[in-house]
Amino acid sequence: MEFTIYQKTPAGVQEISARSAGLSFRERQLLIVIDGQMSLAELTGLMPIADLMPRIEKLQQAGLIILNVASSAAQPAADRPLPSAEILAEIRSILQQGNMLYLGGGFTTILQTQFDRASKLQELHNVIVQWNEALHEQGKSRYAEQQVAQMAQLIRFQR
The pLDDT tens digits for 76-127 are 445 568 889 999 999 999 999 999 999 999 999 999 999 999 988 878 888 8
Angle at 156 between CA 112 and CA 56, to 5 degrees: 90
Q: Are 8 and 65 in contact (CB under 8 A)?
A: yes
Exposed / middle / buried, residue 14 (Cβ in 10 Å: 0-12, 13-18, 19+): middle
Q: What rounded mean pLDDT belongs to the chain?
A: 83
pTM of the model: 0.54
**Structural domain boundaries of the chain?**
6-72, 85-158
